[in-house]
Amino acid sequence: MEILHGIFFLFHMIGFAALFGGAFVQLKGPNRIVNPAMWHGALTMLVSGLLLVGSLEMGDGHVNNIKIGVKLLVLIVIFVLVLMNRKKETVASGPFWGIFGLTLLNAVIAIFW
């Protein structure tokens, strides 16, 4: 089960890197979009995060349900923002900064809580 947990965690970090990196490279650009890296990163984070918690629940790992609930809520908001804006030619500043800030917030919650 530990190997499975490690694989899910790796995919979760890859999803974070894709989502955050996809937004980060557009910070100085005039036109911002939800690029494929952001879309696939959000989807990967959501699926791998659920699998990660499931693998912890099945094993002997301790799960802080409040922390996971907060992280899931933040990730659902990110996912909805990405999903709503992925077909648009340009994304307004509010949703873009929301995606960027909430992604960073999710990492902060994971590390410091």
Q: For position 41, what pLDDT does the model report?
A: 97
Task: For the chain, give the mean pLDDT.
Answer: 94
| pTM of structure | 0.92
Q: Which two tokens stand for residue 21?
A: 């990196």
Considering its fold, how many domains does the chain have in total? 1
Burial class from Cβ neighbours inside 10 Å (0-12, 13-18, 19+) for residue 40 reads middle
Residue 30 is predicted with a pLDDT of: 86
* Distance (Å, whole) CA 32 – CA 46: 23
Q: Is the pLDDT of residue 76 over 90?
A: yes
What average pLDDT does range 40-54 have in this prediction? 96
Print the domain residue range for 89: 2-112
Mean pLDDT of 49-56: 93
Residue 111 has pLDDT above 90, yes or no: yes
Nearest to 91 by CA among 17, 9, 12, 35: 35
- Res. 61: pLDDT tops 90: no
Q: Which amino acid is at 31?
A: N
Helices of type H across 25-92: 36-58, 65-85
